[in-house]
Amino acid sequence: MTVRIIHVGLGGWGGNWARTAIPQVTEVEVVGLVDPVPATLDAVREDLGLPASAAFASLTEALAGVEADAVVITAPAVTHVPLALEALEAGKHVLVEKPFANSTDEALTAVRRAEELGLVLQVSQNYRWYPAPRAVQDLLAAGELGELSAISIDFRQWDNDQPVETYPHYRFPHPMINDMAIHHFDLLRMITGKEAVRVYARASYPSYSKYQDEAVTSMIIELEDGLVVSYRGSWLSRAPRTAWAGEWSIQGEDGEIWFTSRDGSPSEVAGDRVTLRADQDAEAEPVELPTLEHTDRQGGLQAFARSVEGGPAPETSGRDNLRSLALMEAAGRSAASGRPEDVVLPE
């Protein structure tokens, strides 16, 4: 069975989804495209070779105009939950870009409705679908380091040269925490299998920053077993840049795992690296990485299609993603309050 999808939101990253990610997954077929900007809609439709009858200005029109099984949402974040709810009410499964929502309370409305209707609701946490974090997850699950003592995560990029008037990233709400650190929060949960209970975040606002909200943030994250994670993230770093998944040092009783992931263009895996050392004086030994059928968004999309067809529930289901979102939300509260904040799931 091929899962027929309506794709909503074709500008910027959504256009990249349409042209480079979705076509690589044979388990899905695009039957409808949605975007309110006619030029954007026509450009993507023509690039994909779809007829004019497959193009719509709204999801409402698309749901009425084509037969589909699911909806993929890559529109702006503020529209994620309203669009997801509309799709769910029409009986469609939903895959939505991250961040799922800007609050856990809003996200929970969609999670509950999907569960009531028996439909798949998945969040695209694409950084999970790379070989390095998969290898690290397996190493930690096997107890390779024994008892863990500390984790440190560093993310460094310079993104401050574009014109303020035309570069939307500078206006993204909380670009360090909500747009970037959400990836690292989700990876932290994935590789450790542990949940965060408390976070202390401090953001800084250099005078030369073009961002309207925080672009530099440091955090201390406490996990449920008391393990402390140190996080440093910056869009304004002049230090050597990291890969998009950052640089991780995971330390334990029996050694250290170091890894990095998602370097270069989306889906490239050449920059994925994992090393293992037994002690401070030992050489770091490279770890062999698994080969994945699909990486990045394609890996998540394939998992989504298989869930729709009756396979396992997606590991980044809306229900599971509430925990990544709750950590993001607590970090934002802490950055604003200047105090440690508990990670609270909505009732």
Q: Which amino acid is at 251?
A: Q
For residue 158, pLDDT over 80 is answered with: yes
pLDDT of residue 173: 87
pLDDT category at 265 given cuts 50, 70, 90 is: confident
Q: What average pLDDT does range 292-318 have in this prediction?
A: 96
List pLDDT tens digits, range 21-46.
999 999 999 999 999 999 999 999 99
Q: Hey, what are 343's tokens?
A: 């990670």
CA separation (Å) from 17 to 23, 24, 77?
A: 9, 10, 15
The CATH H-level (homologous superfamily) assignment of domain 128-292+328-342 is Dihydrodipicolinate Reductase; domain 2 (3.30.360.10)
Residue in the structure block whose two tokens are 């994620």: 80
Which of 156, 221, 234 has its CA nearest to residue 186? 221
Q: What is the pLDDT of residues 88-105, one digit of tens each?
A: 999 999 999 998 988 899
Q: Is 261 exposed, middle or buried, given 0-12, 13-18 or 19+ CB atoms closer than 10 A?
A: buried
Question: Would you say residue 345 has pLDDT above 90?
Answer: no
Our measurement of the distance from residue 340's CA atom to the centroid of its chain's CA atoms, rounded to an integer in Å, reads 24
Range list for CATH 3.30.360.10 in the chain: 128-292+328-342
Instruction: State yes or no: pLDDT of 214 exceeds 80.
Output: yes
pLDDT at residue number 250:
98
3-state secondary structure the chain: CCEEEEEECCCCHHHHHHHHHHHHCCCEEEEEEECCCHHHHHHHHHHHCCCHHHEECCHHHHHHHCCCCEEEECCCHHHHHHHHHHHHHCCCEEEEECCCCCCHHHHHHHHHHHHHHCCCEEEECHHHCCHHHHHHHHHHHCCCCCCEEEEEEEEECECCCCCCCCCHHHHCCCHHHHHHHHHHHHHHHHHHCCCEEEEEEEEECCCCCCCCCCCEEEEEEEECCCCEEEEEEECECCCCCCCCCCEEEEEECCEEEEEECCCCCCCCCCCCEEEEECCCCCCCEECCCCCCCCCHHHHHHHHHHHHHCCCCCCCCEHHHHHHHHHHHHHHHHHHHHCCCEECCCCC
Give the pLDDT of residue 266. 87
pLDDT at position 31: 98
The answer, yes or no, to whether residue 139 has pLDDT greater than 80, is yes
Higher pLDDT, 101 or 87: 87
pLDDT for the residue 267: 87
pLDDT of 293: 94
Percent residues over pLDDT 70 in the chain? 100
Mean pLDDT of 272-281: 96
- Mean pLDDT, residues 131-148: 98
Q: Where in the chain is the domain with CATH 3.40.50.720?
A: 3-126+296-316
For range 262-272, the mean pLDDT: 92
Distance CA 309, CA 120 (A): 10
Taking 80 as the threshold, does the pLDDT of residue 309 lie above it?
yes
Gap between the Cα atoms of 247 and 262, Å rounded:
10
Over residues 190-213, mean pLDDT: 97
Phi then psi for 206, rounded to 5 degrees? -60, 145
State yes or no: pLDDT of 71 exceeds 80: yes
Q: What is the pLDDT of residue 75?
A: 96
Q: Give the class (CATH, top level) of 3-126+296-316.
A: alpha beta
Give the strand pairing for 285-286 and 341-342. Answer: unpaired
Q: Is residue 347 predicted with pLDDT exceeding 80?
A: no
277 C-beta neighbours (distance < 10 Å), count = 15
Angle at which helix 182-192 crosses helix 131-141, to 10 degrees, equals: 40
For 8-23, write each residue's pLDDT tens digit. Answer: 999 989 999 999 999 9
Q: How many residues belong to the chain?
A: 347
Residue-level pLDDT at 288: 97
